[in-house]
Amino acid sequence: MDNPIENLVNELNRLPGIGDKTARRLAYYIINMDPNRVNGLVNAISNAKSNSKLCSICNNITDSDPCEICSSSLREKDIICVVENPKDVLSIEKAGRYNGVYHVLHGDIINSPDGDQKIKKLIERIRDENISEVILAFNPSISGEASITYISELLKPSGIKVSKIAYGLPFGSDMDFYDDQTINIAILNRTEV
Ligand SMILES: [Zn+2]
């Protein structure tokens, strides 16, 4: 029969960034927690999952559609910052200086089977809304660079300004990694492509 503790360890171990040792430590921590706190944790996970959807405009994960950013009258709707992942939106929002809207691709477009579909949706949105600038904020990587080239080539004929953020940081790093000031400077010093 399955061992419940081993099951818990295995499930935790499948989460990103949780190695064997951490999974084991968390599993025993959870087992020793007060039952009410365990219920609170289970409910929080379950509620977050069932109340999350994708914004029909920007594809960000949200509990309301359109999301808070797309519905805000205070945001500059003619500037779109394109990111690979919802957590990148969080990083840029936390940094606090960007006031445009976003478009979330949900992963790499170059190596993804539905990459073309994602790009089509982005291009349609750029065409339908009155966009003056598209900022490509991909993590510095080979596929990120390839995505920048690909999208900027597609948008060139439209005459819309396309820029990429200026990281000056090594390839393979992740936006999570940067402090708020670095992100703000990267956006401020963006270069046209
Ligand atoms: Zn949205």
Mean pLDDT of 117-129: 90
- Mean pLDDT across the chain: 91
Q: Ligand 1 centroid to 157 CA: how many Å?
A: 26
Confidence of residue 23 (pLDDT cuts 50, 70, 90): very high
The residues pairing with 82 across neighbouring beta strands, listed in sequence order, are 103, 136
Q: Ligand 1 centroid to 65 CA: how many Å?
A: 7
Helix, strand, coil shares, percent, the chain, to 5: 50, 10, 40
Can you give the pLDDT at residue 34? 97
Can you give the pLDDT at residue 108? 82
Task: Quick: pLDDT tens for 80-104.
Answer: 999 999 999 999 999 999 999 999 9
Residue 62: DSSP 8-state: E
CATH code, residues 53-192: 3.40.1360.10
Q: Ligand 1 centroid to 4 CA: how many Å?
A: 40
Q: Ligand 1 centroid to 121 CA: how many Å?
A: 14
Q: Ligand 1 centroid to 139 CA: how many Å?
A: 21
Domain borders along the chain are 4-50, 53-192
Task: Quick: pLDDT tens for 135-184.
Answer: 999 888 888 888 999 999 998 888 899 999 987 666 666 777 788 888 88
Which residue, 27, 30, 32, 31, is CA-closest to 13? Answer: 27
Domain 4-50, classified CATH 1.20.1260.10, yes or no: no
pTM for the whole structure: 0.81
Q: Ligand 1 centroid to 58 CA: how many Å?
A: 4
> How far apart (Å, rounded) are the C-alpha atoms in residues 110 and 106?
12
Q: Kindly write down the DSSP assignment for every residue of 130-156, as one continuous string.
A: T-SEEEE---SSHHHHHHHHHHHHHHG
4-50 against 53-192: fold identical: no
Residues 6+ apart with CB under 8 A from 178: 91, 167, 169, 186
Q: Ligand 1 centroid to 123 CA: how many Å?
A: 16
